[in-house]
Amino acid sequence: MIIIMKPQATEEQIGSLCHDLSRQGMQVQRNAGVDCTVLGVLGDVARLDPHDFLIQPGVERVMPVSEPFKKANRKFHPTDSVIDCSGVKVGGRKLALFAGPCSVENYDQITDTALKVRAGGANILRGGAYKPRTSPYAFQGLKLEGLALLEQAKELTGMPICTEIMSPKLVEEFDRRVDVIQVGARNMQNFDLLTELGQTHKPILLKRGLSATINEWLMSAEYIMAAGNPNVILCERGIRTFETSMRNTLDLAGVVMLHKMTHLPVVVDPSHACGHAWMVPELAKAAVAAGADGLMIEVHNNPAKAKCDGAQSLTPNQFDELMQFVSKEVEFFGKKMN
Ligand code: PEP
Ligand code: MN
């Protein structure tokens, strides 16, 4: 349930209502609306009679929230959430650019790529240390050594780092060492992992599951938020359809829908969505036009030699060229680069 206060409601009226709701065993989340305060009420709200609140001074409207996701719901939090990723703001009017190789391979590869994507305009370095591969015989990532290499690249470039976690056992380690923790498509419904991540305060980049509906995806965000961490960034990375000419099908309509349903920022990853480097620039431009809050692009300093996802990785020059276009596009849409 949400309670929308009148614009002129006083602090005292809002405070007394919150107090009353807590006494009745409810959890109250106070959020800023466009020109008023919105109280999100969680708990056994079926026990409450909306009319008891409608007659309180300062209350404008009382509305049920029928969707199963509450904290992620835009009704609960009408304004866009802006997530602070170690100084880089994701959400709102700025476009965030995550870039880097699919997997961290060695010192030269990650630092060379990091310096080049930073020069091109990237804000956050993304590289996999733990790789969820379809085959157990494929390269699984450098794991802790990869994490250490990412830290060195961060030291060299000053860029915050984003990398994928696979096991709940590593949450504490990632919380200490990583700026943005990525949950990959294959773990979107690993509820133990999500709940554990909810106990940190770290920004979590939650990728859409291979065949997940928007509702299922938002319920996964809700797991993290319900456990106490409001810092969730959604990442559309393509879904599985009947189409086989591309790795996945990029759901840009989903990005538009998400902005209506949730206040959480939405980043688009065109690289995994199509699987072909030559398609990535056009899809990235389309994502910005659809209102994406950020892009996540795979870039490798030598894609032909990449240990993972070389076919969809841009060269640093291709990334530069794309960024030059995107910076003009962002301006056209009245936004800013980060
Ligand atoms: C990745 O980001 O490298 C990755 C494995 O992505 P996804 O989980 O979207 O497949
Ligand atoms: Mn990849």
Q: What is the pLDDT of residue 198?
A: 98
Please give all residues whose beta carbon lies within 6 A of any atom in ligand 1, as ranges. 102, 128, 132, 184-186, 207, 237, 272
332 Rama sector, left if φ>0, alpha if ψ -120 to 50, beta otherwise: alpha
Q: What is the pLDDT of residue 304?
A: 98
Lowest mean pLDDT across 31-35, 174-178, 181-185: 31-35
Among 183, 207, 251, which residue has the most ligand 1 atoms within 8 Å of its CB, making it the best to mutate? Answer: 207
**Amino acid (1-letter code) at residue 163:** T
Q: d(Cα 71, Cα 222) in Å, to the nearest integer? A: 6
Q: What is the pLDDT of residue 139?
A: 95
Q: Using an 8 Å Cβ cutoff, are 319 and 116 in contact? A: yes
Could you say which ligand is closest to the alpha carbon of residue 162?
A: 1
CA of 312 to the centre of ligand 2 (A): 8
**pLDDT tier at 77, thresholds 50, 70, 90:** very high
Q: What is the pLDDT of residue 22?
A: 96
| HEC secondary structure over the chain | CEEEECCCCCHHHHHHHHHHHHHCCCEEEEEECCCCEEEEEECCHHHCCHHHHHCCCCEEEEECCCCCCCCCECCCCCCCCCEEECCEEEECCEEEEEEECCECCCHHHHHHHHHHHHHHCCCEEECECCCCCCCCCCCCCCCHHHHHHHHHHHHHHCCCEEEEECCHHHHHHHHHHCCEEEECHHHCCCHHHHHHHHCCCCCEEEECCCCCCHHHHHHHHHHHHHCCCCCEEEEECCECCCCCCCCCECCHHHHHHHHHHECCCEEECHHHHHCCHHHHHHHHHHHHHCCCCEEEEEECCCHHHCCCCHHHCECHHHHHHHHHHHHHHHHHCCCEEC
Q: Are strands 204-207 and 232-236 parallel, antiparallel or unpaired?
A: parallel
pLDDT tens, position by position, 123-165: 999 999 999 999 999 999 999 999 999 999 999 999 999 999 9
**pLDDT tier at 33, thresholds 50, 70, 90:** confident
Q: Which residue has its alpha carbon closest to ligand 1 atom 3?
A: 102
Kindly state the tokens that stand for 304.
């032909």
Atom of ligand 1 nearest to the CA of 272: 9
Could you say which ligand is closest to the alpha carbon of residue 313?
A: 2
Q: Are strands 37-42 and 27-32 parallel, antiparallel or unpaired?
A: antiparallel
Kindly state the tokens that stand for 20.
């009353």
CA of 108 to the centre of ligand 1 (A): 22
Atom of ligand 1 nearest to the CA of 208: 9
pLDDT tens, position by position, 98-115: 999 999 999 999 999 999
Kindly state the tokens that stand for 186.
């294959």
Q: 2 CB contacts (<8 Å, ≥6 apart)?
A: 38, 39, 40, 41, 62, 63, 65, 75, 76
Q: Using an 8 Å Cβ cutoff, are 181 and 174 in contact? A: yes
State mean pLDDT over 74-92: 96
Q: What is the pLDDT of residue 182?
A: 98
Model confidence, pTM: 0.97
- Other C-beta atoms closer than 10 Å to the C-beta of 22 total 13
Q: d(Cα 272, Cα 276) in Å, to the nearest integer? A: 8
Q: d(Cα 13, Cα 20) in Å, to the nearest integer? A: 11
Atom of ligand 1 nearest to the CA of 131: 5
CA of 272 to the centre of ligand 2 (A): 6
CA of 225 to the centre of ligand 2 (A): 26
Atom of ligand 1 nearest to the CA of 187: 8
Q: What is the pLDDT of residue 210?
A: 97
**pLDDT tier at 332, thresholds 50, 70, 90:** very high
Q: What is the pLDDT of residue 41?
A: 96
CA of 308 to the centre of ligand 2 (A): 6
Asked whether residue 185 carries a pLDDT value surpassing 90, the answer given is yes
Asked whether residue 32 carries a pLDDT value surpassing 90, the answer given is no
What is the chain's alpha carbon radius of gyration, rounded to the nearest angstrom?
21
Q: 94 CB contacts (<8 Å, ≥6 apart)?
A: 293, 335, 336, 337, 338
- Other C-beta atoms closer than 10 Å to the C-beta of 104 total 32
pLDDT tens, position by position, 208-262: 999 999 999 999 999 999 999 999 999 999 999 999 999 999 999 999 999 999 9
Asked whether residue 34 carries a pLDDT value surpassing 90, the answer given is no
**Amino acid (1-letter code) at residue 90:** V
Atom of ligand 1 nearest to the CA of 185: 8
pLDDT tens, position by position, 265-320: 999 999 999 999 999 999 999 999 999 999 999 999 999 999 999 999 999 999 99
CA of 309 to the centre of ligand 2 (A): 5
% the chain with pLDDT above 70: 100
Mean residue pLDDT across the chain? 97
Among 237, 298, 312, which residue has the most ligand 1 atoms within 8 Å of its CB, making it the best to mutate? Answer: 237
% the chain with pLDDT above 90: 99
State mean pLDDT over 50-75: 95
CA of 149 to the centre of ligand 1 (A): 19
